[in-house]
Amino acid sequence: MILCEIGNTRYHFKQNGRIWSAPCGKVPDLKLEQDEAIYVISVNKRALRRLNAHYPVIDLEPYVSLDTEYQGLGIDRAVACMAVSDGVIVDAGTAITVDVIQNELHLGGFIYPGLAKFQSMYAQISPRLQGAISFAIDPAKLPESTIEAISYGIITPLVCAVYAVARHKQIILTGGDGGYFARYFEGSIVDQSLIFKGMEKIIKGF
Amino acid sequence: MILCEIGNTRYHFKQNGRIWSAPCGKVPDLKLEQDEAIYVISVNKRALRRLNAHYPVIDLEPYVSLDTEYQGLGIDRAVACMAVSDGVIVDAGTAITVDVIQNELHLGGFIYPGLAKFQSMYAQISPRLQGAISFAIDPAKLPESTIEAISYGIITPLVCAVYAVARHKQIILTGGDGGYFARYFEGSIVDQSLIFKGMEKIIKGF
């Protein structure tokens, strides 16, 4: 079985237990069984068309069902939420989405810009605000330099807001940058296969 | 007396109790007394030179003195801090800076992107994330739509982080967008003349 989640910039694959990604800019080279189709979830129609021009795909979008009042929830967020019964999902990619699930009900969520966006935004504000994000900052210690002040300004507000919405629920970190936040959430889980778990749940229901 | 704070994009003036601003792109039309100079604080050397090419200025930078361990604190932040003995300053402009002062000692602070920068970050991530920021969101209520999720993602993390560093200190809001946050901080003050108060304090010390 081959699964593919198509994001804004990358294809994310799971095949035979292996997870990898490739840029959306070109068609990835895949080995499929005869008559095998790729199960797909996509937020990027163009990249989906590009993949489908070379391989047979089965789009899981019509089968996604999540109990929520949220209008316009991204399909990738919905599928990740389907993999969780109770918890808070922090999916840190191009954007950082935070979703709260309780008894398989999606209570809502919010969207924070991704780490790379923050970095380029600070650089645009002033050349003095250019620099790498430091995950050595401590939310309990006020910054005493520009580089600390920027890293703190990205990390601490998110950490505070996630704790505020989590109310002692399990925090699950996913997405390319998810692992960086693990040290800020005691008892959190890093799970890069969350969306694939949601996809597998949908396929099992067929 | 005429005071001018020069920011990244605008000149901010105080003259005869009146406060106004003008874009840095052109030289503002000012009425000065004979031999009168403009007291200036600037984070924008080019705009300072442009002003000084047309008017006499006295740069207050050499006279700024703030008790702090912070390395590289912007001169505008330092001057605003000099106006406060105890409190948290949230200065919401192109960037949003947060500074904590206790017994006239600056304990540190952090830098968050400004509201306009957040809007352009979201728009860059996806056209679906374009929209006006709503200050009607309630941090205690999880968003149930994209526009709420974005507004919440800008406002709530900042609000949570400011409360975390404030520890019951007075919160003082300033800068062009400062007033928007007043409803999220009970008992906060909006003071658009904070930096001018710091400048006046320096001048009184002459």
Closest CA to A12 of A133, A178, A170, A159: A178
| A76 belongs to a structural domain | no
Confidence bin at B128 (pLDDT 50/70/90): confident
Which strands make up the sheet holding A95-102, listed edge to edge? A67-68, A105-113, A95-102, A87-92, A171-174, A189-190
Distance between CA atoms of B151 and B133, rounded to whole angstroms?
5
pLDDT in tens, B139-181: 999 999 999 999 999 999 999 999 999 999 999 999 999 999 9
Q: Are residues B45 and B118 in the same domain?
A: no
Q: Read off the pLDDT of residues B179-193 as tens digits, 9 standing for 90 and up.
A: 999 999 999 999 999
**For residues B99-117, average pLDDT:** 97
Is residue B67 situated within a structural domain?
Answer: no
Closest CA–CA distance from residue B119 to any residue of chain A (Å): 10
Q: Do residue B165 and residue B87 come from a single domain?
A: yes
In a domain, A73, yes or no: no
Count of domains in chain A?
A: 2
pLDDT, tens digit, 9 for 90 and up, residues A39-55: 999 999 999 999 999 99
Residue B32 lies in a domain: yes
Q: What is the ipTM of this complex?
A: 0.92
Q: What is the CATH number of the domain that holds A94?
A: 3.30.420.40
Cα–Cα distance for residue pair B125/B118, rounded to 1 Å: 11
**Is position A86 annotated as part of the catalytic site?**
no
CB contact under 8 A, B107 and A145: no
By CB atoms closer than 10 A (0-12, 13-18, 19+), residue A97 is buried
* φ, ψ at A94 (rounded to 5°): -55, -40
Q: Which of B76, B91, B99, B177 is catalytic?
A: B76
The two three-digit tokens of residue B25, written as one number: 């792109």
Domain boundary among A41, A59, A77: A59
Give the start-end residues of each E strand in chain A.
2-6, 10-15, 18-23, 38-42, 57-59, 67-68, 87-92, 95-102, 105-113, 171-174, 189-190
Which residues of A are less than 8 Å from B108 in CB distance? 141-144, 149
Q: Do A149 and B110 touch (CB under 8 A)?
A: yes
Q: Distance between CA A101 and CA A167 in Å, rounded?
A: 12
For B3-19, the pLDDT digits (tens) are 999 988 899 999 999 99
Looking at the fold, whether B50 and B151 belong to one and the same domain comes out as no
Of A69, A109, A145, the CB nearest to B149: A109
The whole model's pTM is what?
0.93
Contact A108, A98 (CB under 8 A): no
Of A109, A142, A150, the CB nearest to B111: A150
> Hunting for tokens 């021009």 — which residue is that?
A53
Structural domain containing residue B92: 82-202
B86 with B158, same domain? Answer: yes
On whether both B7 and B50 belong to a single domain, the answer is yes
Query: Cβ of A8 and B70 within 8 Å?
Result: no
